[in-house]
Chain A
Amino acid sequence: MSGKIIAGLIIFVALVTFPFIYNVGKANTVPESNLDTPVIKQMAVKQCIEPRQFMRAEHMQLLNNWRDSVVRSGNRIYTASDGKQYSMSLQNTCMNCHSNKKEFCDKCHNYMAVNPYCFDCHLQPKENKS
């Protein structure tokens, strides 16, 4: 009987650790955000609507708030923490500067293995349509 248990344990350990074993030796660098777009190049001060660290951590929640604010509450103008005002639009505001979706958005999303469905509806900028 204990032979079955040990065999079962080995199979279990093999299955559970398979993801790690499979990726041994593969390069695993955190992707750099690529800001090389025409609109950003022309900006004197290269700054998003909020500081970089905030955007990195909170852009998902921010976009969720935006979509409710625009669609459900009828508000279009966002006041950033520095007082500047922006039109709340993923497609027309965010992607206006960040028009390189593949190099900017997708790189981190693929690294984190997340698949946001925003772009099922919201059109990607024409330059780098993936």
Chain B
Amino acid sequence: MSINRRQFLKIAGISSILGLGSAAATTGLLKGRLEAVQDIPSPEGLTAKRWGMVVDMSKFKTPADYQRVINACHSIHNVPTFDNNKDEVKWIWTDDFEHTFPGHENGFKGEEMNEKKFIVMCNHCAMPACVRVCPTKATFKRKDGIVMMDMHRCIGCRFCMAACPFGARSFNWRDPRPFIKETNPNYPTRTKGVVEKCTFCTERLEKGQLPACAEESAGGLVFGDIGDPNSEARKLIAKHFTIRRKPELGTEPSVYYIIGGGENA
């Protein structure tokens, strides 16, 4: 039997595809080996319909008030400190009114409000743009409303960073480990090439603890279930006038700000 080169290539090609394809299919089917018993969440974990945060700016008066809260987060999560703005990684930080709430500028605020710093972090939006654009679901919305990061899956495309209207996300432009001041051995670091941000301390929530920033804030950050009308956070939002960052964009942020100043603020 004599075949020419073209026929040989066709036969070889089709056999390889069939062989590899069936191998892949059978191993793929076998992959669903179930554990005998399903994994379960920690029994002491906190649950909610929708986690949110109320930032009561009246409780933030001195620089120490802010630093305590930021250090609490950045230290337990092994967030690196870089010496330049380009590589900066931050999960929670401060900025003034004009830059935190660009659409609310009113020009006649007075010096104290002009200079006052506001705590900012990921807003864990109910309709997050970052989740919408992530091509691998590396960032995703949990049932309890937290916008979570799966560092294992992130391909570092930074589409989420382009999509986030709040600038809440940081990328690891280089290996962060040399820049971590003091490592917390109970929490991982990240590696170069992945995006990170505040996760509302899921690792603490599952142990029945509040997020680190809230715990250190002496009432400045009220973390709670804003899906439950009886939670402290919800009651604060009902009682005081609050604003959220860029609500007109429709992402439905879950972080509410009691701005401070005046009786109803």
**Are A73's CB and B190's CB within 8 A?**
no
**Are A122's CB and B188's CB within 8 A?**
yes
Closest residue to A126 on the B side, CB-wise?
B185
The reply on A26 being an interface residue by CB < 8 A is: no
Number of CB contacts from chain A to chain B under 8 A: 65
The size of the chain B interface, using a CB distance under 8 A, is 29
A85-112: which have CB < 8 Å to B? 87-88, 91-92
The reply on A71 being an interface residue by CB < 8 A is: yes
A73: shortest Cβ distance to chain B, in Å? 7
The reply on A39 being an interface residue by CB < 8 A is: no
Among the interface residues A69, A74, A78, A81, which one has the most CB atoms of the partner chain B within 10 A?
Answer: A74
Residues on B with C-beta less than 8 A from A121 are 151, 188-191
The reply on A33 being an interface residue by CB < 8 A is: no
**Are B186's CB and A91's CB within 8 A?**
yes
Residues on B with C-beta less than 8 A from A91 are 185-188
**Contact A71 to B41, CB < 8 A, known contacts A121-B189, A123-B183, A126-B185:** no
> Which of B32-40, B83-91, B244-252 lies at the interface?
B32-40
Residues on B with C-beta less than 8 A from A78 are 35, 39
- The 8 Å CB contact of A81, one of B36, B40, B188, B206, is B36
Q: How large is the interface on A (under 10, 10 to 19, 20 to 34, 35 or more residues)?
A: 20 to 34
Residues on A with C-beta less than 8 A from B202 are 74
B41-64: which have CB < 8 Å to A? 41-43, 45
**Are A77's CB and B150's CB within 8 A?**
no
Can you name 10 extra interface pairs (CB under 8 A) apart from A71-B152, A76-B39, A125-B185? A65-B35, A72-B150, A74-B142, A74-B206, A77-B40, A77-B41, A79-B36, A81-B36, A91-B185, A91-B186
| B residues at A contact (CB < 8 Å) | 35-43, 45, 78, 140, 142-144, 148, 150-152, 183, 185-191, 202, 206
| A residues at B contact (CB < 8 Å) | 65, 67, 69, 71-79, 81, 87-88, 91-92, 117, 120-123, 125-126
List 13 A-B residue pairs with CB atoms under 8 Å apart, sorted by A's residue number.
A71-B148, A71-B150, A74-B206, A76-B40, A76-B42, A76-B206, A78-B35, A79-B37, A79-B38, A79-B39, A91-B185, A121-B151, A123-B188
